[in-house]
Amino acid sequence: MTVLPDGFVPISTTSRFRFACHPEVPCFTECCRQLDLALTPYDVLRLKNRLKLHSGRFLEQYVIIEWDPSLLFPQCYLTMIDDGRASCVFVSPAGCTVYEDRPGACRAYPVGRGASAGRDGGVEETLVLVREPHCLGFREGPSQTTGEYFAGQGLDDYSRCNDTLLDVTQHQRIRNGFRPSRRQLDQFILALYNLDTFRQEFNDGRITLRRPLRADELQGLAGDDEQLLLLGIRWLRQELFDE
């Protein structure tokens, strides 16, 4: 049985809680400081498009890639400001400057969501309510279910795209002991986080699929980043697992 840290309470999509965050809450933006914010590929997609940056430039300017040998795949973290409080690079006194495209973890807070591949091929979801001592948002807002809160925070697209990564990160071959090479780890970052370079490499013929491209995949190469991300996942399954 997993022992959760203090303040972490298991919940479900039908659990109810009261929470809201806005400038009138005394702790406003405190949750944007002293944190390690892991970024999913979809987070990077939304942020680099919001800032109108090439994905390679976004990675250079805003992302720290952790190549920890104890981790199966590299982890990307958002750069924090060296202001003595490790503040998010996008936080301001008025709040989040990229609010409409903020990362999924920020949207879900104070709920933590985990996903794993189910035995039936579906996705098993694990949810916890995080009650941090500094957060006064639990005094605000109406009572709502977790599902209602997620819908209001616009999490559906984030969860859908993030869950497709399970086809790579929780592949059966990994469970059987597969470990990627350094070249394959570079491919992981290219296909999932550096989408604009991945598109250029594909369009230039330097990387290919071993089957004809479908219409949706061609849309990704033509400019649809969400379709391109799905293509990147399929290409990784080819390169890592020979599928």
Condensed to tens digits (0 to 9), the pLDDT of residues 193-230 reads 999 999 999 999 999 999 999 999 999 999 999 999 99
Mean pLDDT for the stretch of residues 143-147: 97
Mean pLDDT of the chain: 95
Determine which helix (DSSP H) or strand (DSSP E) holds 187, and give its type and residue range.
helix 182-192
User: What would the pLDDT profile of 158-205 be if each residue is shown by its tens digit?
Assistant: 999 999 999 999 999 998 999 999 999 999 999 999 999 999 999 999
Question: Please, what is the end-to-end C-alpha distance for the chain in angstroms?
Answer: 35
Residue 149: per-residue pLDDT: 97
pLDDT at 7 over 60: yes
Report the alpha-carbon angle 39-25-40, nearest 5: 5
Residue 118: per-residue pLDDT: 83
Q: How many CB atoms lie within 10 A of CB 200?
A: 15
Beta strands in the chain (DSSP E): 8-11, 16-18, 63-66, 75-78, 80-81, 87-88, 91-92, 95-96, 111-117, 123-130, 143-145
Report the SS3 class of residue 238. helix
Rg of the chain on CA atoms, in Å:
19
What share of the chain has pLDDT > 90, as a percent? Answer: 91
Mean pLDDT for the stretch of residues 110-116: 95
pLDDT at 121 over 80: no
Contacts for 214 with CB less than 8 Å, ≥ 6 apart: none
Q: How many CB atoms lie within 10 A of CB 137?
A: 22
Residue 4: per-residue pLDDT: 80
Q: Does residue 93 have a cis bond before it (omega within 30 degrees)?
A: no
Mean pLDDT for the stretch of residues 81-109: 95
How many angstroms separate the CA atoms of 227 and 12, rounded? 30
pTM above 0.75, yes or no: yes
Residue 1: per-residue pLDDT: 55
